[in-house]
Structure 1
Amino acid sequence: LLRERGIEAWQIDDVLLTHVDHDHWRPTWCRVRDLNATVHVHRSHKRANLFNGRARVHIFEHGFETRWLRVEPLLMAHDEAGVVVYRFELAGGGRLGYATDVGHVSSDLVDHLHGVDVLAIESNYDPEMQMASGRPPMLKQRIMGGRGHLSNGQAFEAVRFIEPKSHVVLLHLSRECNTPGHVESLHEGASYGVTITDQFQPTEWIPCACAAPF
Structure 2
Amino acid sequence: MFQVDTLSKRPFLNPVSFSLAVNEVLVVSGVSGSGKSVLLRALADLDPHEGRVFLDEKEQADWKATKWRKKVMWFPAETAWWEDSVAAHFPESNPKNTQAWWSSAIEKLSLPASILRQSVDKLSSGEKQRLALIRGLIEKPQVLLLDEITANLDPQSTLAVEALILEYLSEHQACAVWVTHDPQQAERVASQKIELGRESD
Q: If each structure's helix is expressed as a fraction of its own residues, which one has the higher value?
A: 2
What range is the shorter-chain TM-score in?
A: 0.3 to 0.5
Q: Relative CO higher for 1 or 2, CA cutoff 8 Å, sep ≥ 6? A: 2
